[in-house]
A and B are shown apart, each in its own frame.
Chain A
């Protein structure tokens, strides 16, 4: 094989391997996006079903709260799973941007819907869910650390603690501005625990648990 052929063959083979790699990556992404779309649809249906159930149960006051609370863990788990998958896709950067934005907005809206449901349960059913709103920047070391701290906190508290994470840099969603104004978010990361802004910067596990325990005593 002469030298020019050797070079051309190398470029061709490398290009084929590279394109095959890109294609498999794209195929895997399609597969993952289909799963995510499916899960988001399920969440959407769950929320809709919950709201309908709430309206329906208003006619039978005594049992409604228990029945509604019973559905919270499932909804919370589904939402957490979608959130985790979206975060992974965000990091991999190989996802179709339009699909990703659509899913992210959907997830954002579902989080706010879920927040309203939990607040409603706390208000009308005397439930005592602790709510942590976590505003973060996905590419900031401190935010990543804060996320890990929250994972550790929620692992100990099961479903009594609702942690909702909001990408504070995602301005495509108008709902974010509402939350930012409401909770006076000026820097990232920021934690809002039971409607109280704990301030920006990394907040350790002890301080979070202290605040949660204090709220339990107050209630």
Chain B
């Protein structure tokens, strides 16, 4: 049975890998097809903030430098349930085009989603951009996105999110992950299946956002839920590689852990909410293939890693036992190592690593980032991936056990 699970996982893993490679080959040239914008639309940028006094100045300064017609850009800062002086900091930047709307979040509602929905009523722009209080935008971030809204079915356009000034190894690893994630999102968008509208900067068509009732105020990851919902309702979500936004990522393992658990739980919350999309071709590739295969490969991947891990653990444990018994005679330990160094599972692992390297290369080319942090890259390639199914199962467990939902940055 164990072997069947590993074989099935390998098969679907292979299908997914071939699928990605084909998307790259077929769509690569279309990534940079630029349209001239006939009429620049008006945009309102909403920045909800809870206790973001330390970071919001930098965010606002970058917004004020945006290369976008001043008469078509409105900025709303929305401090919500703050216990620090976020509002006071934001008010220092008050002007004709920058408003501060303080929002009181009712109990049981998700702050960011509620604050954005509240501000939506006050937004004047045809488009509404939502960004986190710690996002820093490049000058052309908004201007480069808007051409997509000339396609009538586009409901949202996402920016390419990168990590802001990574310092420690955890941040550097995440910066690599974000480059790859941005490229993956571009690939998903090219097959009309992008299901995340990242919080670092996503712009929406205001009338659609209002029509569908705004953000889900209960969901732990309102950006995933929004992306899936837009797809569910038949709208397109796009990503612009030239629109760059920077975000701050968790610096400590504890913060990272909380964030990933939240993401994972939010994903399952969303999939459960939109379960009627699954395996139905009328919801496009996202419903028919992408979401089901993500669920399948992650769950089978978790089981396979558990089986593989258990097998290797018993071998290593046996070697340790032997070495202890032999009083430092390493001969026995070496023969145990030779057993798994030639195993098929390692061959599959190496093949997947090569594919991952290819994918990483393509990501750096298209996201136009420099190759840096070689040590972090090695960790990312050979170790970091194991965490994903781990967090996936943890999120599923938390959600199944219905543990208290807390929001962590």
Contacts and interface: CB of A to CB of B under 8 A. Distances in A.
Interface of A: 1, 3-4, 6-7, 9-11, 13-14, 17-18, 91-93, 141-142, 144-145, 148-149, 151-152, 155, 202, 204-206
Given A14-B18, A91-B339, A7 B329 contact: no
Contact of A17 (B14, B16, B322, B325): B14
Contact of A152 (B10, B15, B284, B326): B326
B192 A151 contact: no
B331 A155 contact: yes
B357 interface: no
A92 to B, nearest CB: 7
A9 B15 CA distance: 10
A138 B15 CA distance: 34
A185 to B, nearest CB: 21
B195 to A, nearest CB: 15
B321 A202 contact: yes
Contacts of B37: none
Contacts of A151: 331-332, 335
Given A6-B19, A10-B18, A144 B325 contact: no
A105 to B, nearest CB: 23
Contacts of A141: 314-315, 317-318, 321
A61 B344 CA distance: 54
B319 A17 contact: no
Contacts of A3: 191-192, 284-285
A206 B328 CA distance: 12
A152 B333 CA distance: 11
A149 B15 contact: no
Max chain B CB contacts within 10 Å: which of A3, A6, A13, A145? A145
A206 B331 CA distance: 15
Interface residues of B, number: 37
Given A7-B285, A11-B15, A14-B14, A204 B326 contact: yes
B336 A148 contact: yes
B344 A92 contact: yes
A4 B285 CA distance: 8
Contact of B22 (A10, A91, A92, A149): A10
Contacts of B16: 10
Contacts of A93: 3
Contacts of A18: 10-11, 14
Nearest to B334: A148
Given A6-B26, A7-B289, A149 B322 contact: yes
Contacts of A4: 281
A148 B192 CA distance: 56
Given A7-B289, A10-B22, A155-B331, A142 B15 contact: no
Contact of B15 (A10, A144, A204, A206): A10
Interface in B374-407: none
Nearest to A9: B22
Interface string B305-317: 0000000001101
Nearest to A6: B22
Interface of B: 3, 10-11, 14-19, 22-23, 26, 191-192, 281, 284-285, 288-289, 314-315, 317-319, 321-322, 325-327, 329, 331-333, 335-336, 339, 344
B187 to A, nearest CB: 11
A17 B335 CA distance: 32
Nearest to A143: B318
Given A7-B19, A18-B11, A145 B314 contact: no
Contact of A6 (B3, B23, B329): B23
16 contacts: A3-B192, A4-B281, A14-B11, A141-B321, A145-B322, A145-B325, A145-B332, A148-B319, A148-B331, A149-B322, A149-B326, A151-B331, A152-B329, A155-B331, A204-B325, A205-B329
B19 A10 contact: yes
Contacts of A206: 327
B331 A145 contact: no
Contacts of B15: 10-11, 14
A152 B334 CA distance: 11
A121 to B, nearest CB: 29
Contacts of A205: 325-326, 329
Contacts of A7: 19, 285, 288-289
Contacts of A1: 22, 26
A194 to B, nearest CB: 21
A210 to B, nearest CB: 14
B325 A202 contact: yes
Contact of B319 (A6, A9, A145): A145
Contacts of B315: 141, 144
A90 to B, nearest CB: 12
Contacts of B285: 3, 6-7
B293 to A, nearest CB: 10
Contacts of B333: 148
A152 B19 contact: no
The 10 closest A-B pairs by CB, nearest first: A148-B332, A10-B19, A141-B318, A14-B15, A145-B322, A204-B325, A145-B318, A14-B14, A141-B314, A10-B18
Given A7-B285, A7-B289, A149-B326, A17 B18 contact: yes
Nearest to A13: B18
Contacts of A91: 339
A3 B231 CA distance: 15
A26 to B, nearest CB: 13
A155 to B, nearest CB: 7
Contacts of A145: 318-319, 321-322, 325, 332, 336
A17 B16 CA distance: 13
A204 B323 CA distance: 10
A178 to B, nearest CB: 29
